[in-house]
Amino acid sequence: MTSLIRNAWYVAAWSTDIDDELRRFIILNEPVLLFRRSDGGVAALEDRCPHRLLPLSKGKRIGDAVQCGYHGLTFGADGICTRVPGQDKIPQSAFVTAYPIVEQHGIVWIWMGDPERADPARIFTLPQFTDPRWHAHHGDALHIESNYLNVAENLVDPAHVSFVHPTTLGNAASENVPVHVSTEGPAITAWRWIRDAEPIGFFKAFGDFTGNVDRWHYYHLYAPSIAVIDFGSADVADQIAEDDRDAGNRIFALHFMTPVTENYTIDRWMHLRNTAVETAEASEKIDAMFRIAFAEDKAILEAVHQEEQAPPKRRPIRIAIDRGPMVYRKRISEMVERERTDDASAETNGSFVYHD
């Protein structure tokens, strides 16, 4: 059975990725053509001519319309066919799906499900996007040969950090610090504070810490596939309170996971920070550290995904640190079932505004 959720906003691309050119993407197993219209908005069309199935991305633009590269059928940015060479009448079935698109904070969001349920108010955002004390920096797209569930659950799993990212995001000091998990809000949240410990590699590079720090990791996972990692450090002497994290060096790492197929996921990552907000150099350095860490995740996740394809010898075990991932997978199962049965009474899937 599929694990893909259709009724949700997904990140199709960064805004800077989309221009006049016809570009093909695969999202939830469907080919999607994206391009920027002359009015500056982004058009998203099914990338498959309904006639002989050629991807429209192999055709060419005629103004804001797209002409198929095989027989010249032409479709407006709304998906409606406007020309069939060789005949005057245009059949009603000559159209391609046009997907709802919202562009916000430099991110192109797409809705692949029932268009009637596409509510822009449910698109993920953070108040810090518009707060001048914060800087938002769009990172990159990590391609991972894995089901998106593995990628997502890794982001509500602080326990892996000590073992997978010993040089960047974790170190041995955190191995045995217990993880708290809250499953009450729209997000599943796993977090821990590590008090009076050596700074992790990340903040050795960016903080000016001379001694030990108090540090935190809050992993918020929104089903189906958005993660917010709120992490930071403050000098032990500051005696920082748990709800006063803005007083420390604080970073939100955002992960927008878009399932390409059941076996391939693109994780588009970016961050917001309240430190070094004015310097582009800091963004580059932070990206560089993230790249190291995410390459470590990719190696693990692809190996796990590959091993999952083999016939199981026995049922995998679940342990204490799995509580977040287990709740996540249960939520996904419920979403899949709601979509399978078209249960309109239940709440729409989708994303939500972050709250501390």
The Cα 5–Cα 334 span in angstroms is: 10
Q: How far is the CB of 318 from a copy of itself (least distance, A)?
A: 8
Q: Which is nearer to a copy of itself, 74 or 274 (CB)?
A: 74
For the chain, the residue count is: 356
Q: How far is the CB of 175 from a copy of itself (least distance, A)?
A: 5
Q: Which is nearer to a copy of itself, 215 or 245 (CB)?
A: 215
Asked if residue 257 lies in contact with residue 226, where contact means CB atoms within 8 angstroms, the answer is: yes
Q: Which is nearer to a copy of itself, 163 or 288 (CB)?
A: 163
Q: Report the 10 Å Cβ neighbour count for 309.
A: 7
Backbone angles phi, psi at 146, to 5 degrees: -155, 150
Q: How far is the CB of 55 from a copy of itself (least distance, A)?
A: 6
Residue with tokens 């004390």: 133
Q: How far is the CB of 256 from a copy of itself (least distance, A)?
A: 23
Q: Which is nearer to a copy of itself, 198 or 308 (CB)?
A: 308
The Cα 287–Cα 299 span in angstroms is: 18
Query: In a 10 Å sphere around its CB, with 0-12 CB exposed, 13-18 middle and 19+ buried, how is residue 344 labelled?
Result: exposed
Residues that bind a copy of itself (CB under 8 A): 29-31, 46, 48, 50-55, 58-59, 67-73, 84-87, 91, 93-94, 97, 157, 159-160, 162-164, 175-176, 178-179, 299-300, 303-304, 307-308, 310, 313-322
Q: Which is nearer to a copy of itself, 26 or 276 (CB)?
A: 26
Asked if residue 280 lies in contact with residue 297, where contact means CB atoms within 8 angstroms, the answer is: no
Q: Which is nearer to a copy of itself, 82 or 128 (CB)?
A: 82
Q: How far is the CB of 250 from a copy of itself (least distance, A)?
A: 25
For 104, the 3-state DSSP assignment is strand
End-to-end CA distance of the chain: 35
Q: Which is nearer to a copy of itself, 72 or 186 (CB)?
A: 72
Q: How far is the CB of 330 from a copy of itself (least distance, A)?
A: 17
Q: How far is the CB of 148 from a copy of itself (least distance, A)?
A: 15
Q: What DSSP letter does each residue of 144-194 carry, written as one string?
A: ESS-HHHHHHGGG-GGGHHHH-TTTT--GGGTTS--EEE-SSSEEEEEEEE
